[in-house]
Amino acid sequence: MGDSTRLPIRHVIWGARNVIILVLTPLLLLPLPLCIGTSASKCAFVVLMMAVYWVTEALPVGVTALIPVALFPLFEIMPSELTASYYMNNMTLLFTGGLCMAISLEYWNLHKRIALKILLLVGTEPKWLMLGMMLATWFLSMWISNTGTTAMMVPIITAVLDQMRKGKNSTIEDVESNVAASDDQGKSHEVDDKTNGSVVDSSNAPHVAKKEEKPVKSQERYVVAGEGDQYELKKTESEGEKHDNDDAHSDASDSQEDDHMAQMERGMLLCICYAANTGGIASLTGTGPNLVLKAMVDELYHKHDLPSPVSFGTWMAVGLPLSAVVLIVCWIWLQVAFLRCRGPCCSCCSPATENSRRVKELIAAEYRKLGPVSLSQKIVVSQFLILVILWITRDLGGVAGWGKSFPSGFVSSSCPAMLMTIMLFAIPRNIPRIGQKLCVPLMEWSYVQQKMPWHLLFLLGSGFALAKGSERSGLSYWLGTQLEVFNDVNQWAVLFIIGYFATFLTEVTSNSAIANLLLPMLIQLALRTGVHPLNYMFPAALACSFAYMLPVATPPNAIVYATNKVKMSLMIKIGFVMNILAVPCLIVITRILGDAVFDFGNVPAAFSTDTESTQLAHA
């Protein structure tokens, strides 16, 4: 009996894969510090071990990010105090402040209000409904967690599609009950946020939907009639009035319509996760790789006493148009793939039909549930707008901005971020009266603790520590010499290689982890080949957010896949084409707008001087 219950050896190995990876990886890499023994080889040992752990997730991503704190001092690469200082610096404070403001939008349900308002404006024709869904998700994911945005949007689009599928056999009361039911879906589903570090609130997470059975025809058919808020059912015809051949034709038509509705549903779900992934590249605080690039560029320029060219305003000057172009390309591709309008899928949702009216009423009913805008919500929105304006106007291309009123280096984007964060806990949401409790602030710290992706702060810090450790140990110099083979390669070809390499690599691991590994190497590649560092760093950092193919690539993909309505094979096929289309958009726009904003043709002379001195030091 014992033999019959014994698991096959492959199952045992698979179950213990994390332990095996944790043990074998450092053992296989031991020749680097033991046999070679140089400071560069010891740093390579740490970098390679972390890369394996990040890709395989043998350890949680945030835990792997703490390895430099333990090993850099032991290997005498960097002192402990210096290594630890990179884990709480200007960039991590900027990210923390931005996240606190984003969490406040979620806390007051403002993200849902914005999304529903956009849907009310775009209409209910499938292509415009898809665009509305994408615009709402895209805009919100610039500022708040792409996981939270996707988890909020999936139940909304599911309710809308259910209403479309029901056709003419439902009332406005059914619409109201459908809205209420959509809020109760998925009470136990949770998705681990590999990118943003948060756990989806179970009340907002999508449910794992079961395949619906085809409804049985009723003997009498009804339509919704009326205007404004007054609706009534009107009988149209009975089952007995139809001929047998008409029944057969109706069944065939219903089957065709069901197929088109299923196609449209898959397209609508995929458009949400794709828009969430695309929106993060538009703003500096939208996703982790953006801040990794910002920190490394700041370090490089400050090292030569030069002002950093990357600010919130300059980033949006390039990232926002790029993000918008990729979103439009994605919308067109999803229309080609899913909304070819070969049958009733488009006609049934045209603005002139009762079905379109019910869909619009569904969205309006959901919006009405939010109630009027409260004073606290107005205050939070005002603070958010003030913060964005302060970020953008602090440095206007190095020639203007309110930051010029202070000595150089005294203020950064983290200052207004921290100021607005403090105000969230200082401004009361109510005016106390006799017999009432004391003033309650706009935000609760316990809610921020729950929503804050703490491990992502460690991940950002590890990237800064790895970059500095690679420089101090000589690993960066060694990598630069190996990358000189690209001297004779066309620069456009190098850009496409970088873009596609980062795009497909980010499908299997954290985008911030990939940025931490790639960007230091690209700095050396640029310096050794006489190219402006941002010319290579920008495409690489932005390509890390093009995760369209796999459910494991990013939490929005996982949320959509968890609905059981999108097969992995379909996601891979549609996402592969998106990866192919997105990279050329990235390269062309980066070369055009990036060159206009950052002047790629003008490489600071201090960079070439630093490269020559580094060569002499290692000669």
Picking from 121, 113, 153, 135, the residue whose alpha carbon sits closest to that of residue 360 is 121
* Beta-bridge partner residues of 233: 224
**Cβ-proximal residues to 243 (8 Å cutoff; 6+ apart), any chain:** none
- Per-residue pLDDT, 205: 34
Picking from 600, 576, 604, 577, the residue whose alpha carbon sits closest to that of residue 587 is 600
- Are 550 and 194 in contact by the 8 Å Cβ rule? The answer is no
One-letter amino acid at 530 equals G
- Are 589 and 318 in contact by the 8 Å Cβ rule? The answer is yes
Long-range CB contacts (within 8 A, 24+) of 173-178: 175/358, 175/361, 175/362, 175/365, 176/365, 178/362
Picking from 86, 164, 157, the residue whose alpha carbon sits closest to that of residue 334 is 157
Beta strands in 248-318 (DSSP E): none
- Per-residue pLDDT, 255: 55
Low-confidence ranges of the chain (pLDDT < 50): 1-2, 4, 168-172, 175-176, 178-250, 252-253, 342-352, 613, 616-619
| 99 vs 451: CA distance, rounded Å | 9
Picking from 326, 327, 329, 334, the residue whose alpha carbon sits closest to that of residue 586 is 326
CA distances from 63 to 57, 89, 339, 437, 509 (A): 10, 19, 44, 41, 15
- Count CB-CB contacts under 10 A for residue 254: 15
Helical pair 244-279 and 568-589, crossing angle rounded to 10 deg = 50
Instruction: Count Cα neighbours of 458 within 13 Å in the Cβ-side half-sphere.
Output: 15
* Beta-bridge partner residues of 200: none
Long-range CB contacts (within 8 A, 24+) of 208-216: 208/562, 208/563, 208/564, 209/158, 209/563, 209/564, 209/565, 210/564, 212/165, 214/254, 214/258, 215/169
Q: Encoding tokens for residue 155? A: 């139940």
Instruction: Count Cα neighbours of 230 within 13 Å in the Cβ-side half-sphere.
Output: 2
| 509 vs 511: CA distance, rounded Å | 6
